[in-house]
Amino acid sequence: MSDKIAPNIIDNNPGRELIKVLKDQLRKSKETKFAIGYFFLSGFSLVKDDFPEKYQNLPFLKIVMGNETTYPTKEELVAGYNLREIFKQRMIEDLQRTKLTDEQIKQLQALRDFVANNIIDVKLFDKSRLHAKLYLFLTKPEEKYGSPGLAVVGSSNFTSEGLTKNKELNVLLTSREEVLYLNQWFDQLRNEAVEFRKDLLKVIDISGVLPGSPYPKIGKLIDSRTLFKYLVYKWFEGRVLNLLKRDILMEFQLVGVVNATDKSNFYNGVILADSVGLGKSFMASAVVEEFLNGKHPTWIPNGKLPSVMLILPPSIIPQWEELLIGKIDEQIKEKLFLNHKIKIPPIFEEEKGFFVNNYKKLTKKEDNYKIYEIYDEQGEKLLGKISFLSLGIFQNYKVDEKKIMLIQS
């Protein structure tokens, strides 16, 4: 694309990079004003050597940053952050993402010095979204008749990518009226913004990156949910990753499953005592599925097939039957009562549950006492049995009858 056509259009195509404009204008300017979505080391590093040697007034570069997307307000502000904390977090992550070279550390020190000496001042506009980008260069602020400078209005952020690589669209404005109007626009925006200069200095200091810093180098910031997942993985030595149903259980339920397994291994039994509505039935079902799939061979007496008996009030037997066996309609019920070995299809294709892909066979068919054989996904290997027994029937059995029943089940 020709650079002779519309030279005031800056889009980062070869010969039209915005960085060239910034370098040229910074050297000539007596005052500069940037309204941008983000500013930090990558953008500053490209223009650090182009600041004038002497300054008529300080701060020389006035920056106003603002929230340019809806993501932080939708996700992070709900989590208790404000815009100031979001920018501080993003800056710290920038410093921690990769190991800084010696040259980058020098540039970071220079940035800190510029901010500390009030050569650069940074404010934060948090009243609403700030989508526009403005780079204003006042080369002749006192000019009475001609243009006092040059303005760039467009899409580029003050980052390395925004100034050199991204597909951007900016326009150069030089008329007196346009530059004066944008100067007033920026000043009004800055008056409504809040101070961020001390925050920026604090971010650089506490990052621990600069030589001689009293602060240790901090790690990557993570949200509370990611931290919880990491701690769960650490506590249980990665075993959560091996759970068969980790895709349908909440994180705290995964913890419950691993805890229940640990307690059963140590005490030969466990009580799930979570509050109502926290998914005890799902956690127990996950343990049952793990057991029948051979994850806990030490629980099985020698020579016995893995077996599980659920002793339940009669009213909730259908609920547990649906959870572990599947939704049984009249057609499926007929096949089961004819001793067919069948795979019970999910109601919806995307439905997830327990033993969804396993074959089942009903071997005991009393209303309040049923025994199912659970086979592998090919219907060839018998994995074990699941029994559903009414609490009333169990209570009425004598001790010897209970022993026989447990052996048969």
The amino acid that residue 69 corresponds to is T
The mean per-residue pLDDT over the stretch 118-142 comes to: 88
Q: Answer yes or no: is pLDDT of 186 > 90.
A: yes
Specify the higher pLDDT residue, 1 or 23.
23
The terminus-to-terminus CA distance of the chain in angstroms comes to 80
DSSP-derived letter for residue 39 is B
Does the bond joining 59 to the residue before it have cis omega, within 30 degrees of 0? Answer: yes
- pLDDT-wise least confident of 196-205, 240-249, 302-311: 240-249
Side-chain half-sphere CA neighbours of 277 within 13 A = 0
What is the average per-residue pLDDT within 364-391? 88
Helix orientation angle between 251-267 and 224-235, rounded to the nearest 10 degrees = 20
Architecture (CATH level 2) of domain 9-221: 2-Layer Sandwich (3.30)
CA distance 229 to 193: 38
Per residue, the 3-state secondary structure of 36-99, as one string, reads ECCECHHHHHHHHHHCCCCCCCCCCEEEEEECCCCHHHHHHCCCCCCHHHHHHHHHHHHHHHCC
- Find the Cα–Cα–Cα–Cα dihedral 3, 8, 11, 13, rounded to 10°: 10
**190-194, 261-265, 305-309 — which is least confidently predicted?**
261-265
| pLDDT of 190 over the 70 cut | yes
Closest to 356 (Cα-Cα) out of 332, 323, 381, 384: 323
- The domain segmentation of the chain, as residue ranges, is 9-221, 223-299, 303-409
For 82-128, write each residue's pLDDT tens digit. Answer: 667 777 777 777 776 667 788 888 888 998 899 999 999 999 888 87
Angle between helices 197-206 and 83-97 (to 10 degrees): 30
Least confident of 49-58, 61-70, 179-188, 224-233: 224-233
- Whole-number pLDDT of residue 241: 47
Judged by average pLDDT, the poorest of 44-48, 125-129, 204-208, 230-234 is 230-234
pLDDT in tens, 249-297: 666 677 777 777 777 777 778 788 777 777 788 888 888 888 888 777 7
β partners of residue 64: 35, 123
One-letter amino acid of 178: E
- Whether pLDDT at 70 is above 60: no
Instruction: Summarize the chain as % helix, strand, coil (round to 5).
Output: 40, 20, 40
pLDDT at 181: 95
Q: Does residue 122 contact residue 234 with C-beta atoms inside 8 Å?
A: no
Position 147 pLDDT exceeds 70? yes
Q: Where is mean pLDDT largest: 181-195, 313-327, 367-381?
A: 181-195
Tokens of 11: 């889009």
